[in-house]
Chain A
Amino acid sequence: MAILCDRNTKLLVQGMGRMGQFHAGLSAEYGTQVVAGAHPGRGGSEIGGVPIFDTVQAAVRATGANASVIFVPPAGAADAILEAAEAGIEVAVCITEGIPVLDMVRAKRALVGTGMRLVGPNCPGLVTPLQCRIGIMPAQITRPGPVGVISRSGTLTYEAVDQLSRLGIGQSTCVGIGGDPVIGTTFIDALELFEADPETQAVVMIGEIGGSAEEEAAEFVQSNMKKPVAAFIAGQNAPPGKRMGHAGAIISGGKGKASDKIAALEAAGVPVAPSPAAIGQTLADHVPGLSA
């Protein structure tokens, strides 16, 4: 099972530049079905054994691609997202960092009713261990198992996944939702998917300062989830008013503080790791019997 991607996923790569090609190769090596690339002006060619099309629509028609990974530079990324939606892509993962907020907030609203789920932007992507890799995550640190992972960050996700794997706890799917202020799939969306996934028994969510997505997720867990959730919030020592690397990681107007998020999660019965080194252990203590 898993969520969002599995061995049946047929992946299209939008933007076959250096990064797109490199990661398409790694995903294919991992066993992902990389069926097509879309790159305007290069239609009809082949890159690394992958057929290239000028438009997403042509790629979908010819190959039956149902998922897409977007490496298109910021100026054209929102356009690439909308192109994927119109062509009938079911899941689009946007890796691009640096998309203007105005573009994203408009694109996100335009997706309502299209049936496409967007993950990201500014995210590391998805891995369903031993089945499918979409994006830029190091899939080799994952192992199959019962825990869903949701994170706003990239390398901190790897840290958490590594901690889980070392404890013998595998993952159903690892989802990097992205560090921008406006993202496609939110914590709540991913929690909902994991709650409905029979293979997932527990969830780890890794949040950070900025916005109120963690507080909203806490409320969702309390009222809608039967499966146990553990969490970590990065940025407990971040100063207010400073953007901490991610466009969305900023405490502004007294809002978005780690302490508020931790309090909301704990009040919802979600244990929050006291240290970033204890993310795996916090889940293991909360839900015994996860390791295999």
Chain B
Amino acid sequence: MNVHEYQAKALLREFGVAVPEGALATTPAEAAQAARALGSDRVVVKAQIHAGGRGKGGGIKLAATPEEAEAVAAEILGMTLVTHQTGPEGKLVRKVYVEEASEIETELYLAMLLDRASEKFALIASTEGGMDIEVVAAETPEKILTELFDPNLGLRGYQVRRLGFGLGLDAAKVKKLEAFAMGLYRLFVEKDASLVEINPLVVTKSGDLFALDGKLNFDDNALYRQPEIAELRDPDEEDERERAAKEIDLAYVGLDGNIGCMVNGAGLAMATLDMIAVCGGSPANFLDAGGGADKEKVKEAFKLILRDEKVAAILVNIFGGIVRCDLIAEGVVAAADDLGISVPLVVRLQGTNAAEGRAILAKSGLDITSAETLEEAGERAVAAVTSGKGA
């Protein structure tokens, strides 16, 4: 789960990590008021969306006076901000964060996350603060320093010191970095974060460190024990269909194509997208109805798929293990009856009670194309879309 910058900064502050003073605003007048309250010479007005690259897209602007902050906020609020992380459709800006402008001497990068390969946590730092870290990693990997630490022992002081001296900081600043990194570490473990990223971490002329930007992601699987984090969820930032899917315990990801997919199991669901592509088609979505898919789930899944207007055919691919194909077939028939599905439907049932399931589909009198193998399913779904277009 992602949170906004202003929420991340509040959490960082709570864990003793220095951040600039700032306030949230949802109207230009509030932005002016916030700027006035900060009493700083200059303020920065920052669009609050769940994506990076906001500055380049025009979502971060300086203002010298509260009046200017108001004018700048009026420009940013309501704009559709397009960055390299939002996709071409961009994101609507509903909130801005008004922050005191900072005196910057150096910009560093600091992050904490799980290193899957070593199964340890990683503290990562770079002198190339303010840059896109993926670009730094690709072009100048030697400028990225990593310390792996044991999740049961935690981050050790010597590791931070090694990192700090590696960045070229003097002893006084290394000491400050140690306190800074330990704050991040406590936040990371106490709040079940999956990513803490400070980019840039600013070193001021007076030698202080603070987080000019902060990005926090949290482990969805741990939200049950982090109620205050779960409350930070902003539904406006989530894809509407993905959110609806989550509510009924289905995994859904919208895609660009026109073949709707309903599959049981994440691996098979991914493979079904691949199968469609191999057959020359393009999937409209990823949908994992879960290992325990039943009649009701099938119907809910159809509803979700049909909310996407691009969908010109639906492919149902079920490999029954514990799930019985005859029950799925009943669900498909019931859903097709209730929902009045008007697009071609291709159903592939395999595994437990597949023959019974196929018999139910055949007897239903519904216009359902049956398929036995994965390949047939892909071919027939693609053919259904192609013929539909030709007609």
Instruction: Name A's B-contacting residues (CB within 8 A).
Output: 74-75, 98-102, 105-106, 108-110, 124, 136-138, 140-141, 151-159, 162, 179, 181-182, 206, 208-209, 211-213, 216, 232, 234-239, 241-249, 253-254, 274-277
Nearest 9 CB-CB pairings of A with B? A153-B267, A245-B266, A155-B265, A156-B267, A138-B321, A276-B271, A100-B222, A277-B375, A155-B268
Minimal Cβ-Cβ distance residue in B for A240: B85
Chain B contact-residue range equals 35 or more
Q: Assess the A156–B268 pair: CB atoms within 8 A.
A: yes
Q: Assess the A276–B322 pair: CB atoms within 8 A.
A: no
Q: Assess the B221–A276 pair: CB atoms within 8 A.
A: no
Tell me which residues across on chain B come within 8 A of A74, comparing CB atoms: 221, 224
Tell me which residues across on chain B come within 8 A of A98, comparing CB atoms: 221
Tell me which residues across on chain A come within 8 A of B375, comparing CB atoms: 275, 277
Q: Assess the B288–A276 pair: CB atoms within 8 A.
A: no
User: B10 at the A/B interface (Cβ < 8 Å)?
Assistant: no
| Chain A interface main SS type | loop
Tell me the bound Cα distance from A199 to B114 in angstroms. Answer: 37
Q: Assess the B351–A179 pair: CB atoms within 8 A.
A: no
Tell me which residues across on chain A come within 8 A of B109, comparing CB atoms: none
- Given contacts A136-B291, A138-B320, is CB(A238)–CB(B221) below 8 Å? no
Q: Assess the A100–B274 pair: CB atoms within 8 A.
A: no
User: B383 at the A/B interface (Cβ < 8 Å)?
Assistant: no
Q: Assess the A100–B275 pair: CB atoms within 8 A.
A: no
| Chain B interface main SS type | mixed
Give chain B nearest CB distance to A106 CB in angstroms: 5
Minimal Cβ-Cβ distance residue in A for B267: A153
CB 8 Å contact bits of B285-301 with A (1 = contact, 0 = none): 01010010000000000
CB 8 Å contact bits of B147-187 with A (1 = contact, 0 = none): 00011100000000000000000000000000000000000
CB 8 Å contact bits of B266-286 with A (1 = contact, 0 = none): 111111111111100001001
Q: Assess the A249–B266 pair: CB atoms within 8 A.
A: yes
Give chain B nearest CB distance to A26 CB in angstroms: 8
Q: Assess the B221–A138 pair: CB atoms within 8 A.
A: no
Tell me the bound Cα distance from A140 to B119 in angstroms. Answer: 35
**Subset of 17 A-B contacts with CB under 8 Å:** A100-B219, A101-B192, A101-B221, A101-B222, A102-B151, A155-B265, A234-B270, A237-B255, A237-B273, A238-B270, A244-B253, A247-B221, A274-B278, A275-B275, A275-B375, A276-B275, A277-B374
Q: Assess the B152–A106 pair: CB atoms within 8 A.
A: yes
Q: Assess the A154–B321 pair: CB atoms within 8 A.
A: yes
Give me 12 other A-B pairs in contact (C-beta within 8 A), A101-B192, A154-B268, A155-B263 excluded: A102-B189, A106-B152, A108-B119, A141-B351, A154-B267, A156-B268, A159-B268, A159-B350, A208-B270, A274-B278, A275-B275, A277-B375
User: B97 at the A/B interface (Cβ < 8 Å)?
Assistant: no
Other-chain residue from A101, A110, A242, A276 in contact with B194 (beta carbon distance below 8 A)? A101
